[in-house]
Amino acid sequence: MAERYPSGMHGAIAAGLAELLGDSVTVSTATQDQPEHGLTVELLASTDVLTWWGHATHSEVDDAVVDRVHQRVLGGMGLLVLHSAHFSKIFQRLMGTSCSLAWRNSGDTELVWSVNPSHPITAGIPQPIVINEHEMYGEFFDIPAPDELIFLSTFSSGEVFRSGCCWRRGKGKVFYFSPGDQAYPIYQHADVKRVLANAVLWARPEQSTDFTAPEVVSQPAPYFNSRPVGEEVRA
């Protein structure tokens, strides 16, 4: 992986966003080996959109950090979930499903087709995006039905996959995009970089607030428009 991503997956993703979005955004990175995985209360409070790539160590992510990110998404922070982060704790929490899928790493050609060409995430994207070699992700993908299906991938071996999906959770927007395996130079692909940049702009919060689940303090009895029990009713 080092020869394809000398500055790490996080470095390549950040560089692509900085390249395309320029001074309109401030891009920083956080990694799992940092204290609190780099996702401190202060950093998340100032984050409009968080991208999340993960692979083999999802179980080692601190539940307290997952809780913190979850609350920020409900409060309005955008979240981009990339490739194998479909198995991340935060994505499974937001989806409420296993998020499992079929996969095979055999260097298939992937065509990423836009099925919602008027959506902002597809702006400037060719039909289809051609990825010459990639890991195959296939159906069934155990996710809730997307609020918006943006991309559908087909593979040279015949499989299909819902590769770009949007949801709203609370006040936040969530986008899952599957291209991005560490064994291939996916995040150097111009069209993939454009998808991520478009997704950041789409996911920016419309309204961002701290989210606190409402506490139920009473349960009023249902109201029925009826006469008291035992009162005689005459025609």
pLDDT score of 44: 96
What dihedral angle (degrees, nearest 10) is formed by the CA atoms of 54, 58, 61, 64? 110
Quickly count: other Cβ atoms within 10 Å of residue 176's Cβ. 28
% of residues, the chain, pLDDT over 70:
87
Q: In what order do the strands lie in the sheet with 160-169?
A: 49-53, 78-82, 172-177, 160-169, 148-155, 102-114, 129-138
Asked if the model's pLDDT at residue 194 lies above 90, the reply is yes
Q: In which band, very low, low, confident or very high, does the pLDDT at 17 lie, cut at 50, 70 and 90?
A: very high
In terms of C-beta distances under 8 Å and separation of at least 24 residues, what long-range contacts does 144-149 make, across chains too? 144/95, 144/96, 144/97, 148/116, 148/119, 149/115, 149/116
Bridge partners of residue 136, in order along the sequence: 104
| 232 is a domain residue | no
DSSP run (H or E) holding 14: helix 8-21
pTM of structure: 0.87
| 40 is a domain residue | yes
**What are the pLDDT digits (tens) for 89-109?**
999 999 999 999 999 998 999
Q: Which residue has the tokens 């070699």?
A: 133
The total of structural domains in the chain comes to 1
Residues 179, 196: Cα–Cα separation, whole Å: 11
- What is the mean pLDDT of the segment spanning 142-169? 98
| 217 is a domain residue | no
| 220 is a domain residue | no
% of residues, the chain, pLDDT over 90:
80
| 208 is a domain residue | no
Residue 108: domain span:
8-203
| 221 is a domain residue | no
**What are the pLDDT digits (tens) for 144-157?**
999 999 999 999 99
| 222 is a domain residue | no
The CATH code of the domain that includes 160 is 3.40.50.880
| 117 is a domain residue | yes
pLDDT score of 210: 64
Q: Cα angle at 177 between 204 and 190, to 5 degrees?
A: 85
